[in-house]
Chains A and B, each alone.
Chain A
Amino acid sequence: METFLGIDYPTLWFLVVGGLFSGYAILDGFDFGAGAWHLFFKKEQSRRIALNAVGPVWDGNEVWLVIGGGALFAGFPVMYATLFSSLYVPFMLFLVFIIFRAIAIEFRGKEAMLWWRRLWDVCYSVSSIMLAFLLGVVMGNVLQGIAIGPDYQYAGAGFFELLNPYALMTGITTLSLFMAHGAIYLLLKTEGRLFAKLTYLLKKGMIFFMVSFAITSLYTLLYIPHLSDDFKSNPWLFAIPVLTFMSIANVPRLASKRNYKMAFLFSSLTVSLLMVLVAVELYPNLLFSTLDPEYSLDIYEAASSDKSLGIMLLFVLIGGPLVLGYTFFVYRTFRGKVQLDDHSY
């Protein structure tokens, strides 16, 4: 097996995919979260400001999904095929909601009638909530494992089996995480009464997240042994959940000091630490079979050949700096306070 810096190629690609999905969760996480709060704002003015706060960034954030999905397909085609065909209905709903949300954002401002705006407000908010929830449902099923039979074929009962209690809980936890994350983002972008309301909503959001996260963690420790195995054999790995808890605790502390920039940074860090936690719990598995561990899928079974992974890793080495270079250029161009001109949303 080929290695680079002593790490084998499938593991390296696992890190690449993990990094991309963390980036995606941080970015689309705050705009789904902001959308989830939308109906809590009562005034037309507040809703427009909240919508325009994510206006210029939401489609750029979704690019991460395309690239993350592509990386999973490219590096772990067996995982991609098995996961996506097993969770057919959740993924299809996800696609429909993601398009529907884009339509709601675009349509909302085009007519001035109250009922028109209310209608698209509801569509925008409901689809944001559903998207965050569905991402959590997928994550819950991946963590818990699904009914994979021989030849990587799903052999379970379908959609309602996928909505099991654990997946529902991870769905709600993800929603609450994104809502807290989104509230902090909105706090950075608003002022006045809306800002005051958001400080209040953020508190609720943090409590909502901490309660659901505590329940999910407890359930994971008690009922899903294959996830905590790695921790029992390598106690030093407990550093990761400890860091995660510290990062979570830091968010309300910074928020109460009104240091929302740092709070957003730590909220983002929390999202990525949770992804690290998931990665450590899974590795080297990708998808656990609830029918028979024989049918489980690990990164080596799921991966493309070393030849293929080697080419892709080379692309990342060449292309990564290029991407960073022009990302830097773009951010430099738009540095500083937001300036609105004729070309703004």
Chain B
Amino acid sequence: MTTTTTTPTGTPPDGGPGRRSAGAALLNSLRTNMRQYGMLIALVFIVVLFQIWTDGTLLLPNNVSNLIQQNGYILILAMGMMLVIIAGHIDLSVGSLVGFVGALSAVMMVKHDVPWVLALIVSLLIGAAAGAWQGFWVAYIGIPSFIVTLAGMLLFRGATQIVLEGQSIAPFPKGFQNIAQGFLPEMGPYTQYHNPTLVIGLLLIVALLWKEWRDRRAQLAYELEVLPLGLWLLKCVAIVAALVAFTLTLASFRGVPVVLLLMCVLLIGLGFVMRNAVIGRHIYALGGNKAAAKLSGVKDQRVTFLVFVNMGLLAALAGCVYAARLNAATPNAGTMFELEAIAASFIGGASMSGGVGTVMGAVIGGLVLGVLNNGMSLVGIGTDYQQVIKGLVLLAAVGFDVWNKRRTGS
């Protein structure tokens, strides 16, 4: 998972220091994004710790693939949850929604022989509709999101059990299973590595470098302050090195997992929306100061509504991924997922009062939990102790942030 550990230094998710001048702005950004950088460092530390502890098993190519597939659905949920929390809300229903959508997809595909692509699309639409249902009560009626989604948690869990009649449904068509278990197909001549992965890695490197160069040129054209050339080159080298290492790791096993592709699309897409699109700004503004945002012309109800629709959509996607990974829809699928997603968001820099956080932060927070899970399982720590440790990590992450804020007096 080297890529995710280093990209934030390369392309900062929320106006990080790379794009600003060195000096004051960099220090300021470091200070305000302390929790996220702190967590990045913590993630690297945890990875190194388990890499040593497991005698190198953690970062073996097959375990890296496994890690991605194991955590894909939580990361997808965490990204949506981050948006909800930034907007100043919470969504407790996503775990139940994961189960519900998984159950519906199973009924469609297994009992009614619906083609899996069609079933997937319908499932996503159902998720969006469920999100719209909750968003309606929160945004337009004004019921607190905690209540609405607590009701949703019960409602969708019950609906799951009704749909499945208390039974598990299996197995899924091969194509559907591939969403969670598959890899990009191999193409071209035999090399030591997985060819498409190499191509994708190369394209990604070129794209990132091009973006860096274009940003720098635009900044110069606008006569804005830029990073000194030496530092900038160093940053580019770091990006390339990290991506090469990650690409080779994946390419030496079975290539890019489909889930990783999904996650990357979401990460880039949502990250872009939150950073560069008008609606993203409006979400931050609403969470930061709702009254001021409304008086600045932000359509608060519509924005809140859309945030919940997005969450529903992502929960449905996570539901399909999870069902595909288990190759079964079970009545208890997705239990406690909402808490994992919420924990990931807070570890990754969200604030209870809203207005703060990045999509990349949610991914980092999710990875901290995921690597802890995977690493502790590898060294044989039981799930009982795993829970205790994860709880303490959450407390420590947020506690550190509170302490840091008090110290810097912000």
Q: Do A and B bind each other?
A: no
Interface on B for A, CB 8 Å cutoff? none
